[in-house]
Chain A
């Protein structure tokens, strides 16, 4: 089988790359060992939360932070991608999911500050419209309403942790946690957020929750609910509950499995299919065929079954250490499909830091692929290894996504740009 562009990896970066290559009219394949991490993550898109990373105060303008970062840290993926691709990539992302009924709000000039299900306060630049009312810089107090028997969301715990959180220069309103008097039909082992989100298709369930919220909420309070208000995009459940409760509601993503992430994934998947992109999940990609400094084909396998896939251009979006886009053994780190050189600490004893969330970043985050300005992985000689191979997302070297809160932005911007470049070659 032959494609114009072959994208390896079905996470946020891979799907963005595929969508932007397909928009250039390319016959595109996405092939992936498994489903990307989108379905289990919170669904917020962080651009840049803290810069320099040691800062305890979140950035008010991600754009200014990124511009400064680019001038001071030329090895950072943002320096390779550029502000322009970041801005275009984010618009492209917003348009893509909006067409499938999932609305993302935000821009590069401000960070939201939203509470998480574990009670931390997190800066992020783009989020689902249903989370918008959760910004802690708003003065009104918050009722956190949960459900008895729902796993992965505990109002009292969340409220307590928020009460002990501080953000320099921000006075955080009062959060109180309550369990609603609604029988969601959970049995002894508890119900997952996904199951409850499905149950929101039942009218009786929405009525019962709306009534319970109305009884529980006090004047002037906003309401935080776990993100279970419907399994798909579309705002119907959300609007009805706001009407019944008589106040603004925002969703807080639960611990994985997360409905917010699931909605985002399904929206992107719909877009991918509507764009005529073929999506093959469950395949190991291995044994690339190289001819004349170019990748000519890869082999894909499920179990003992192997197929050969030819392509004009290839995008590597297989993730970092966690996603196994980079693997390690006792002595080295390696990109397993193409055997590309990986930069960062190669000796295991350099992988450790006193604290995982070390304020100056953790050395393990430095591991990744170095790329040129066209996002092509470079060898040790600083020249690209293959003419037609691009890389994007968590696989890129030299940034501490967790610490600086930049994961979503780097992935979307580099995915968008890699797909564009692959689509133009």
Chain B
């Protein structure tokens, strides 16, 4: 056993205080995960290049990155764990099921084409039984439903606004296939502020693949996305994203995990949609002619929003709307964690982590709860009778832009 001394990893900064363990959502509900400290900085000392990974418990890490945020010593714990997970997958292979789950974006086109049939098929008992027995996909889970009109199709057919002020918009595959109304809300709010959205050629950001240890697949997608995004950045455009996880993947992880140093050129251009709008407000350029919205509504902060380091811009923004009361919930990690909650061996853990969110949501009477992340919104709908909304919908309403708009697409279907 050799002690690994690698300057990239400040494991020596870890003072073993266990604050990360205290706040890890997984450790609280299961012993299957040894915890961020042990799997991260502790085991890092015994890892060396080419060793067969010996700590399979890292599989149970949801990748929420709370450990990084709470660490008082600045140890990049989640990076250590993610790299260990990748090494483990490289050594032992990636299960068929995980490949399927992480390629959901590929079914998007097909599923949207035959949306009603696809949605019905996903609900069929035989399909659920088979997927449970053969693929170990959780049979009780709700799958996101596919929309008949993907966002891209709507852009082609119905988006005609033009302006000298332009921003690029990375909407991501979930918005495209499952929640196009979010994309529409984002471009309408931008339009209200005089900005035309342009759409670089794009595919899934690759986070589900990375989360399942498929670095090669993720890299392939990343390279595709970078082409259009780098061009937009070259043209001096800000790049807006409305999915916190996609934003984190492109802004931070392309460079960190996928060996794509050119992605660094995007860093200062990448702006979460509320972050961008708040920037307009601070510059005195935001249209603040809001109608009152008489709602009291809970807001669940996604982990990947916390780890972006941009503060809580949606909360700042919604604070400008008269009569609106938004309460930031004391929740860390909803438990769904992308594809994690769809796996049968992790489904119970996912629900147990979600119990805290469930309890908090129960304090509110209204029909809605806010969150900037699609996975969190799905989990909100799994755990409660509330509908998950992206904060931008509230802004759209305060601008009086949704009068003619149908209900937002549901993040997930009822079983």
Contacts and interface: CB of A to CB of B under 8 A. Distances in A.
B237 interface: no
A381 to B, nearest CB: 32
A262 interface: yes
Contacts of A307: 309-311
A187 B312 CA distance: 39
Main secondary structure of the interface of B (DSSP, over half): loop
Contacts of A71: none
Interface string A191-219: 11011001000000000000000000000
Interface in B351-369: 352
A40 interface: yes
Contact of B74 (A33, A40, A280, A304): A33
A257 interface: yes
Interface string A5-44: 0000000000000000000000000000111110110000
A303 interface: yes
Nearest to A39: B22
Given A34-B19, A302-B307, A282 B69 contact: yes
Given A35-B19, A39-B19, A302-B307, A189 B69 contact: no
Contacts of B252: 303
Interface stretch (A57-65, A156-164, A266-274, A337-345): A266-274
Interface centre among A33, A280, A305 (most CB of B within 10 A): A305
Interface string B63-78: 0000011111110000
A323 to B, nearest CB: 7
Contacts of B316: 1
A231 B328 CA distance: 21
Contacts of B70: 34-35, 281-282
A35 B36 CA distance: 15
Contacts of B307: 282, 302
Contacts of A195: 27-31
A36 B71 CA distance: 9
B330 A40 contact: no
A186 B31 CA distance: 7
B17 interface: yes
A257 B22 contact: yes
Interface residues of B, number: 36
B306 interface: yes
Interface string B294-313: 00000000000011111110
Given A273-B328, A302-B307, A34 B73 contact: yes
A302 B31 CA distance: 30
A189 B19 contact: no
B22 A262 contact: yes
A284 interface: yes
B46 to A, nearest CB: 16
B15 interface: yes
Contacts of A153: none
A301 interface: yes
B150 interface: no
B71 A257 contact: no
B29 A189 contact: no
B21 interface: yes
A305 B316 CA distance: 18
Contacts of A302: 69, 307-309
A397 B319 CA distance: 40
Interface in B1-38: 15, 17-19, 21-23, 27-31, 34-35
Contacts of A106: none
Nearest to A255: B18
A307 B316 CA distance: 14
Interface in A264-304: 266, 269-270, 273, 278, 280-284, 301-304
B121 interface: no
Contacts of B328: 273
A256 interface: yes
A266 B330 contact: yes
Contacts of B74: 33-34, 284
28 contacts: A33-B74, A34-B70, A34-B72, A34-B74, A39-B22, A40-B17, A40-B19, A40-B22, A185-B31, A186-B31, A189-B34, A191-B31, A192-B21, A231-B28, A256-B18, A266-B330, A269-B330, A270-B330, A280-B312, A281-B70, A281-B306, A282-B307, A283-B309, A302-B69, A302-B309, A304-B267, A305-B309, A323-B72
Q: Which 4 A-B pairs have the closest CB atoms?
A: A302-B309, A34-B72, A282-B69, A35-B70
